[in-house]
Structure 1
Amino acid sequence: MSNDGLLIIGEALIDVVHRLDGSVDEVPGGSPANVAITLGRLGRTPHLLTWVGDDAAGQRIAQWLRASGVVVEPSSFGSDHTSTATAVLGEDGGARYIFDIDWNIPADVDLSGIGHVHVGSIGAVLEPAAGPLYDLLSALKVAGATISYDPNARPAIMEAPEITARKFARLVAISDVVKVSDEDLEWVAPGESYEDVARRWAASGPGLVIVTRGGSGALAFTEEANFEVDGVSVEVVDTVGAGDTFMGALIDGLLSAGALGYGHQGAVKTIDHEALVAVLNRCARAAAVTVSRPGADPPTLAELDG
């Protein structure tokens, strides 16, 4: 990769989705993988560093990723089996999850030429890989890359909230951009307002913290200010992958605005307000497309921008 290389780190797995009509679908997924898919469909060439088996499920995931322009790092095929996440959809379109996860960080990762790295979800805090992952991110930051982080809360597989909160905070502090959902904050910081947590996180290092609230839009926080972005009204089919679509569109928009990437550390702190609002409105539109159809199916560039 040249210095504009885009690396996504985190789990890719098979989503086993139990729908309200009794049907069961088995499809490739995983939050970081969905972010990579979004970026690929928006015209980027993201590289995904993940941990899957060299089995039928792992090859199916690889084919799914490659079909949207994602480059799967060869060292990703080191697991003895491919992980699964079972999602049971509720009446409101939300999901509860059951996980069978095997996760690790390959030892032979090439860090050269990476301009921006995104990390998220289970793979960011799951032991024993959480320490090596943090070291890898630290090395990338020293080398000039920017970092984005999406701390998805998954109570079924993560440690107690107070332990996970410390892991979240360490990764937040090293990041340039953080996107988190209201549901994630309710679990990891019970009793605190979204605003208080987001302001504390923004003061710890990142130039931008986004709190998504489903159809109610998003809150954007910098160290000095905050503002609200409206959601997009749409008939919801299900919400699987909506936050990941928002995250992918956010990375894409900030890269286009010159606020992320090699040589742009700190740039997100000085991005023009109107430019940032435009980026976030586009993220909301992208997420609305995803929730309007079944599964984690992000829009293409043509669908989003016409």
Structure 2
Amino acid sequence: MPTPATPVDPAFGSAFVVGEALIDIVVDGDSTVEHPGGSPLNVAYGLSRLGVSTTLRAEIGQDPRGRALEEHLAAGGVVLDPASRSADRTSTAVATIQPDRHAEYEFDLSWAPGPIVPPAGVALVHTGSIASVLRPGSDDVLRLFIASQESVLLSFDPNVRPGVTPARDEVLAAVDALAAVAHVVKMSDEDAAWLHPDLSLGAVVDRYLAAGAALVAITRGADGALVATSDDRLSLASLPVEVVDTIGAGDAFMSGLLFALLSRGLAGVVQSGALSRPDLEAVAATALASARVTVSRAGANPPTPSELARLAR
């Protein structure tokens, strides 16, 4: 069982995560194993495991895989929004582990949540990946962000999946619409290269800061991460780690980053665009430590509080 988390100070608020919850069917050579997955589910689980009171709005079926997802979320302390139990069947993603240990995905899913209503009193709303670009649900997500932009910290990770939404121009338009109202925008270097093939990573950062984001982070796998505000820009290296697989690594970075912002009481600071360099360094270090734990073991298995504290010191 996971180490019980010390709850984040309730005064710093709770989190509401919106997006896909699915079963990852991981094919690694002759082995096939099923894990709970989906980028938003992973972020919600990672936040809750670190002590942030977290609710997930997803779509799952009332089938064995859906029950497996519910059990996984309950074990991590995530509250499943009751409206999530609305799908005909639970979505799946076949993740095939390649010789260099990264995963390639094939998806079978749908996303049509309808109106999305966050719980009262949340301090953070996060979305990303397929839920942010796959219609009709992506339109519902955008409406939620527009309605919430003045009241809560908004976080967005495009986590693009060309195998599901291959039309780059349409994906970029959806990403830009959400990024225009989000306070935190995070993506991988692979996301950046696909969305903006003619731009350097630095230029991608500039683009999203200019669009209105207060904090932009680009992960670079084993090369660490680039994090920036309008006042500061840091290039941080990753510490060495033996990689088992990269499933959930970006999501663990995201949940670690958001946990650090909430636990330090920085949600309002980020919204106002006043994050200091020491705070930027601290939250980025926590995010990198969270990802490091996750790649060191199979599946999307984010850190416990004790693991994160040990690495983030």
Q: TM-score range by the shorter chain?
A: over 0.9
**Structure 2 equivalent of residue 30 of structure 1:** 38
Alignment gaps of 5+ in structure 1: none
Contact kept in structure 2, 1:2 and 1:114, CA below 8 Å? no
**Structure 2 equivalent of residue 7 of structure 1:** 16
**Structure 2 equivalent of residue 42 of structure 1:** 50
Distance 1:95 1:158, change over 3 A: same
Distance 1:275 1:196, change over 3 A: same
In 1, the alpha carbon distance for the partners of 2:264 and 2:191 equals 28
Q: Secondary structure at the match of 1:116?
A: strand
In 2, the alpha carbon distance for the partners of 1:199 and 1:110 equals 31
Write out aligned runs for 1:222-301 (5 A): 222-260=229-267, 264=269, 266-267=271-272, 269-301=273-305
Distance 1:278 1:5, change over 3 A: closer
C-alpha distance after superposition, 1:134-190 (max 9, x if no partner):
111111224x11100011110000141122111111111111111100011111111
**Structure 1 equivalent of residue 190 of structure 2:** 183
Distance 1:108 1:185, change over 3 A: closer
Q: Could you tell which deviates more after superposition, 247-256 or 269-278?
A: 269-278
**Structure 2 equivalent of residue 167 of structure 1:** 174
Which of structure 1's runs of 4+ aligned residues deviate more than 6 A?
Answer: none
**1:38 deviation in Å?**
0.7
Aligned residues: 301
| 1:80 and 2:85 aligned | no
In 1, the alpha carbon distance for the partners of 2:166 and 2:263 equals 36
Contact kept in structure 2, 1:111 and 1:140, CA below 8 Å? no
In 2, the alpha carbon distance for the partners of 1:63 and 1:32 equals 16
| 1:213 and 2:220 aligned | yes
C-alpha distance after superposition, 1:204-226 (max 9, x if no partner):
11101000001101001222432
**1:110 deviation in Å?**
4.6
Contact kept in structure 1, 2:56 and 2:78, CA below 8 Å? yes
Q: Secondary structure at the match of 1:175?
A: coil
**TM-score, length-scaled by structure 2:** 0.92
In 2, the alpha carbon distance for the partners of 1:5 and 1:295 equals 26
**Structure 1 equivalent of residue 121 of structure 2:** 113
Alignment gaps of 5+ in structure 2: 1-9
Return the match for 1:54 from 62, 71, 74. Answer: 62
**1:264 deviation in Å?**
5.0
Cα RMSD between the aligned structures? 1.7
